[in-house]
Structures are given as C-alpha cells and as structure tokens.
Structure 1
Amino acid sequence: MTSDPYTVDVPLRWSDMDAYGHVNNVQFLRLLEDARVTGFEQWFGQDRASKQALLDEGVLVARHEIEYIAPLTFRHAPIEVEMWCTKIGGAGFDLGYDVRDPEGVGVGHYARAETGLVVYDFPNARPRRIRPDERAILEDHAGEPVPFRWRSR
C-alpha cells in the first residue's frame, strides 16, 4: 500500500440486527457507505472554496462486492472500517474495505469488500473524467487489491 489505510469507526444501530442477533448482511452496505461519506469529507473536503467536495458534485456506486468472514453480533461499541483506493480509471475508481473490531474492542474480522464508483456530472447526466486534484487524493490513499478468497484459488 502507498499509505496505511484510512480508518473510521462506524456505530452500529439496533435496527442493523436481524432475527439471529447478527448485523444483517445488507446492513454492511450501510456501514461501508457511512465510512465512505466520512472518508470523502476528510479526503476531498467540505469547503468548495478550497477543495471540490466530491460528494456534493456527484459520485455514483456502480458495483459492490462483499465477502463475509464472520458473523457480527450487535453491540454498543462501533465497528472499524479500513478504506483505501484499489484502482483508478478515467471516470471511476474502486475502494477496498476491511470491517474489523477497533483496537481495545476485540480482534474480529467480519468482512472485506470493494465498491466501484463513478464520478458523475448530474446537470449533464453523464460520467465525467476524474480531475487531476481528485486523482492525486485517490493516489494518496492507494493500496493493494482486496484479498478476496476467490482470488487466491
């Protein structure tokens, strides 16, 4: 990896739990989204005067892939999501994630995932090219491909 992965603690919600007492598999997408929104605010900024705010301009999810490793039972402590950029293209990029226990909470590793994103020009209803400043930020957070088990076969 170019740098250590970005990490963010994401709280669990009571409504994330399924009938078995585990965080429901579809709720993992919300955990990733929460991490992504927080990360993008820190990576790209919120102040349009100094940096373009990628979330304000437009970014769409094109693909998700999740590999579940262990059940995550509901608790009041947050979950830690590590996030890094695995691929940068002309108009899109991929983010990798690891969903783990934060230090001091446990040693669980619950999922790894990847999201394909496209930067989007909403007024013109089409993808747009990644700008040089955005590419530089993504390169600062670049890392290895997500080590999905199916890739090691």
Structure 2
Amino acid sequence: MNLSTMQNVFRVILGLLMMMAGIAHLTFQREEFQAQVPRWLPTSEAFMDFIVVASGVIEILLGLSMVLLTKYKAKVGIALAIFYVLIFPGNISQYTNAIDAFGLDTDLKRFVRLFFQPVLILWALWSTRAFEHLKDKNK
C-alpha cells in the first residue's frame, strides 16, 4: 500500500470516527461529554448541553467533510486540526477538575488522555496531506 492510499484510508477512518463521536454527542454519550465542557465556562446544564450538541454537530460535519470533500481534503484536515486544538481545553479541564467520564476515573488516566490530542492533530494533517498543502502554499 503506497503512502497516498494509506493516507486516504486513515482519512476515511478518522472521518468515520468523527461522525460516530458527533452522533454520541447528540445521543447516548451526551451526558458524558458534558464532563469535558471547561469549568471556566458557565456550568448551567442548559449551556453545557448546548456546547455538547453544537460540538457534536460540528464533529459530524467535519467527519462527513473528511470522507466526502476529497477535493478540499487538505483544508478540511487543517479545519479538523484547529477543532482539536480548540476542544483541548475541555480535556485539560476534565483532568484539572478530576471529572470522571469515558472510563477516565483516575488522574493518571485523565493525564494520559491529554497526549492523544496531538496524535489526533497530526493524524488529521497527515492523512489529508495538509502539510504538503501548507508547504506548497508558502512557496
């Protein structure tokens, strides 16, 4: 399997995972995702639910875009990487506030989870060839 084929396979997998996560936001894990709403934001149940629903919709749209918008895959990869950066404070908040969710029920588990965000960022950029797109754009 050449690099381009492997990148496309990983791009589609990431897109499908994003769609599944978005659906989980809207349905069966809605309450769990509220644990990742940063505690420096308003903590009213209605506001936290809005954040979870809005981010779920965004995840579904980004996932669909990763799978279907192949002509714009580099730009979609960049958008997804930015999204991962923007939601990272929620992971930090879950760790610093010792909030149990998704089986992350110890400080160590919540801490280790923080290291997966850079992996997702790199996955989004690599699988969409965003690095090459950015390099070519700067020539």
Same fold flag (TM > 0.5): no
* Structure-1-length-normalised TM-score: 0.25
Of structures 1 and 2, the one with the larger relative CO (CA 8 A, separation 6+) is: 2
Q: TM-score, normalised by structure 2?
A: 0.27
